[in-house]
Amino acid sequence: MRLLDRLITRALRGPLDALVAQKVTEQVAQQVEELKLDALYSYRWHGDRSRLHIPDTAVVNNALFNVSGGEITIGEYAFFGHDVAVLTGTHDIEKFGRERQLAFPRSGRDVVIGDGVWLASHVLVLGPVTIGEHAVVAGGSLVREDVEPYTVVAGRPAKVIKKITPPGA
């Protein structure tokens, strides 16, 4: 290597290394932010994943689905706020210790969430239950009973607040 090449390389090494380090840091920061955003739009499940039915048109955010006691079926264009839990599982309160942990029904506690249903943030749904099409469940509500289509419910437990007029009615 010629003397001039060595001098140029030595002169540029510091600024070039700093520029590369800055770009790498920016890319890593962007990837971390994308992962955080992705976590907001991913859900978790407990039990057999094949018992959870979510169409591509549904928006589910960071929900938790427990399918240990039945199937969960979500309709087209349903959407969820953050931190929604839909649970089919329950335990036998008459059992104790390890037996209580293991004593739960394996079926019969299905949850059906109809087309266009909106479950706002922090909703808890306990199966077996059906939430009819285009119903709205207000934030923080506890759903333990069926919800009729085109109905708004709120509270713990959820109670009917109003009816929604279906299109064309």
Q: Which residues are catalytic?
A: 91
Residue with tokens 């001039």: 4
Residue 155, Cβ density class (10 Å: 0-12 exposed, 13-18 middle, ≥19 buried): middle
Q: How far, CA to CA in Å, does 112 sit from each of 21, 39, 88, 117, 129?
A: 51, 25, 11, 10, 7
Exposed, middle or buried, 8 (CB in 10 Å: 0-12/13-18/19+)? exposed
